[in-house]
């Protein structure tokens, strides 16, 4: 016999579709799907204290919520890597860091506050975080797509055969997203 009132939701669908749930490790109440973010680039070895963007100095180590400079030679921007989730309207966002050549970084900085980048990009970038379980310790070459309106740039892997690129193209199941949350310590309380 077929149930006449539509398909029954799987537990993962309910958790990610706006239902409140309490995390068994951080004990916070989450509501539906939420994004994860890396608070600093993987290569950053300085203190994890954000400076204001206005204190940016390209000649020294610097970390803010938006920008990072390492050794006056490596320039990084906080980005988003978006992944569709099957059955959900919104994409899951992995907040991560991408590198830029100095001239692209300076262009981004020059237009950051007013939110109106000139027609530029995409720019070549290296993903500068390990995104468990989607990447390993090997660098991932990406294209960074600047966004207008002070939105974070979007990262897309350059190699269409890279597992991360395939996930961005095909999406993941709600259960796969829950396993990503679990890898970062966010598990629904039983």
Residue-wise pLDDT for 34-81, tens only, equals 899 999 999 999 999 999 999 999 999 999 999 999 999 999 999 999
- Predicted local distance difference test score (pLDDT) of residue 17: 62
Cα–Cα nearest to 162, from 134, 132, 143, 121: 134
CA distances from 142 to 32, 75, 101, 126 (A): 29, 15, 13, 6
Distance CA 50, CA 15 (A): 32
Instruction: Report whether pLDDT(23) > 80.
Output: no
Handedness of CA 91, 97, 100, 103 (dihedral sign): positive
- Per residue in 86-103, pLDDT tens? 988 889 999 999 999 999
Matching residue, tokens 């310790």: 137
What does the mean pLDDT of the chain come to? 85
Q: pTM score, two decimals?
A: 0.85
- Predicted local distance difference test score (pLDDT) of residue 102: 97
- Predicted local distance difference test score (pLDDT) of residue 190: 55
Containing H/E element for 178? helix 174-183
pLDDT band for position 105 (cuts 50, 70, 90): very high
Handedness of CA 105, 110, 115, 121 (dihedral sign): negative
For the chain, what are the domain ranges?
Answer: 36-178
State the burial class of residue 17 (Cβ atoms within 10 Å of its Cβ: 0-12, 13-18, 19+): middle
């Amino acid at each position: 016999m077929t149930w006449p009132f539509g398909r029954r939701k799987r537990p993962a669908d309910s958790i990610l579709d706006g239902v409140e749930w309490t995390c068994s490790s951080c004990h916070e109440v989450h509501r539906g799907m939420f994004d994860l973010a890396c608070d600093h680039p993987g290569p950053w070895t300085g203190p994890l204290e954000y400076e204001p963007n206005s204190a940016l100095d390209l000649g020294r180590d610097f970390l803010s919520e938006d920008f990072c400079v390492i050794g006056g030679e490596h320039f990084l921007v906080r980005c988003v890597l978006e992944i569709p989730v099957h059955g959900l309207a919104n994409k899951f966002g992995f907040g991560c860091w991408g590198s830029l050549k100095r001239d692209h970084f300076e262009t981004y900085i020059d237009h950051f506050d007013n939110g109106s980048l000139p027609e530029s990009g995409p720019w070549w970038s290296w993903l500068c975080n390990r995104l468990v379980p989607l990447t390993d310790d090997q660098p991932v070459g990406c294209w960074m797509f600047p966004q207008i309106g002070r939105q974070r740039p979007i990262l897309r892997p350059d190699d269409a055969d890279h597992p991360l690129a395939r996930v961005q193209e095909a999406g993941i199941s709600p259960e796969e997203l829950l396993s990503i949350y679990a890898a970062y310590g966010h598990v629904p309380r039983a």
